Structure 1
Amino acid sequence: MSVWPAWEVREDGGATAWLQVRLAFPDGAGVEALAVLADGNVSLEDVRARPALSLDDLVELADWIEGPLFEACGIASETVEDDGAGEGDAESEDGCAGAGVGARRARPPFPRGIQGRWLVAQEYRAAQAEGADPVLAVMCATGHSRRKSLRLIAQARDAGFLAPRHARRT
């Protein structure tokens, strides 16, 4: 994890500072955040992550960056409460639950090949049974984008794990 100052604005005897925060994981996942220090309070201005973070992941993110961020700001972490962890919700509005951070990995690896297609089909059918968006369920399970998830669903259909999209006329 690294924290470095982005810029600082001084006005009327006070100062507002923006800091860049970057976390990189061994599996290739990463999180970048822009934190703001103003009047002794630290909050997160922007959070970008690949793959996207769930609300639980955002809570974990706040815990991970709290110490190094406060150290870079020169603030004791016990005296300030980081209430800005929910401000990066734009990327977690996808409704993904259960995408926990775990042992410092962004997401557990999703199996490839025939086993992965079978799991995609299971997620798809379970979401349909619950009345939820099946593509979103596959996105949450795999950690892939919508386009990649649609491609995985199509592969599961081609493998025979899901019914054909349209009935073919003969």
Structure 2
Amino acid sequence: MLEASFLGLSDRHAEEGTVSVWPAWEVREREGAWSWFHVRLAFDDGAQVDALAVLCGEQVSIEDVRAEPALSLDDLTALADWIEGPLFETCARADAACATGEGGEAAEFLASSRARPAWPRGVEGRRRVALEYRAAQEAGVDPVLAVMCATGHSRRRSLRLIAQARDAGFLTPRHARP
């Protein structure tokens, strides 16, 4: 058992830890696709961090983190610096494999998801947000996640775009008001 109460990532050096990244699964739906990766940061003293990262477009988000010993808030911030390079290298290798015809569906997804045109602004953008939102609803998937992947924006920004589409009349009101 480790004696430290927190891992102390910001106090450690790159030579002390090893980062491993491997694909977990991928989900494809219509125009959108998401790919999950397991990430493990291991140290010689037995300390370990396991994370689940999801790639959507050019954005990577961390969905789950487990650490022994526990991570402090500073450690959680430093975790991104530790795993960013190896995670993006894995994505780049998948892109290269796709370009050479190797690597299967995961490589195809990673290459295709990065070739997204800029999202239009104004009325056209709101109309397209509404189309993505309704298509996801009809397919039985999370419409906010579909808008996130289509636009490449964060959840907060995507929710704001959805609200703007509602205000513009492209989507029905969220709640009926008496």
How would you bin the TM-score normalised by the shorter chain?
Answer: 0.3 to 0.5
The two structures have a TM-score, normalised by structure 1, of 0.45
Which one has a larger percent helix, Structure 1 or Structure 2? 2
The two structures have a TM-score, normalised by structure 2, of 0.43
Bigger-Rg structure (1/2)? 1
